[in-house]
């Protein structure tokens, strides 16, 4: 079975990439839905219906299947390489995977609310939420690539710095957008 390892790993990575693509884009659609909800009729209904359809297709045709397939291929890899479960970096990675599933499930909750025209987030709050998957992606990639060479203090400082930079960027964009609504 080890002769298929590279194929299984490739499929795992492909579905991780498509899963993240869905997680990067769905909050953008949420932002557009929230903003469309504030428009006057008939724009509100026309945009809202189109954005709901786009979100539904993205969520159920790309994001959920990718999450499931990435997970199945990951389990298969762990069955092939059980020694990885003894590695501390893998424990941390699995912690981030649990965090990613929590993020995914919260996106599912927001998706359901928006499909029912329940708006509980502002577009700016959703922009900040959108960066959650970016932080998880950076964490996992650096963890997997550098593994045991990671100095945890620098890693934590790096992730916190990334989060701060993303939040500052969102605040800056909000100012630019407030000055020029077409930006």
Q: How far is CA 107 from CA 102, 116, 126, 156, 169, in A?
A: 9, 14, 10, 25, 22
What range does the domain containing 138 cover?
Answer: 2-179
pLDDT score at 149: 58
The model's pLDDT over 11-33, given as tens digits with 9 standing for 90+, comes to 999 999 999 999 999 999 999 99
Q: Is 179 annotated as a binding residue?
A: no
Per the CB < 8 A criterion, the answer to whether 23 and 103 are in contact is yes
Consult the annotation and say whether 93 binds a ligand: yes
| Contacts with 12 (C-beta within 8 Å, 6 or more apart), sequence order | 70, 73, 74, 76, 77
> Which ranges constitute the DSSP H helices of 38-122?
43-57, 64-80, 88-115
What's the pLDDT score for residue 148? 61
Residues 86-139 have pLDDT tens digits of 988 888 889 999 999 999 999 999 999 999 999 999 998 999 899 889 888 988
pLDDT(150) > 60 = no
> Into how many domains does the chain fold?
1
């Amino acid at each position: 079975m080890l002769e298929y390892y590279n194929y299984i790993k490739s499929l795992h990575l492909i579905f991780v990439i498509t899963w993240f693509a869905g997680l990067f884009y769905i909050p953008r659609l949420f932002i557009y839905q929230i903003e469309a909800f504030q428009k006057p009729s008939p724009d509100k209904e026309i945009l809202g219906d189109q954005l709901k359809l786009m979100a539904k297709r993205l969520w159920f045709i790309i994001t959920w299947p990718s999450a499931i397939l990435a997970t199945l291929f990951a389990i298969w890899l762990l069955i092939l390489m059980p020694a990885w479960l003894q590695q501390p970096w893998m424990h941390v990675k699995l912690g981030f995977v649990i965090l990613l599933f929590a993020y995914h499930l919260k996106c599912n909750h927001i998706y359901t609310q928006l499909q029912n025209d329940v708006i509980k987030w502002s577009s700016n709050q959703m922009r900040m939420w959108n960066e959650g998957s970016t932080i998880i992606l950076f964490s996992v990639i650096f963890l997997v690539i550098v593994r045991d060479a990671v100095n945890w203090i620098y890693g934590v400082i790096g992730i916190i710095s990334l989060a701060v930079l993303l939040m500052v960027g969102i605040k800056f964009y909000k100012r630019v957008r407030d000055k020029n609504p077409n930006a």
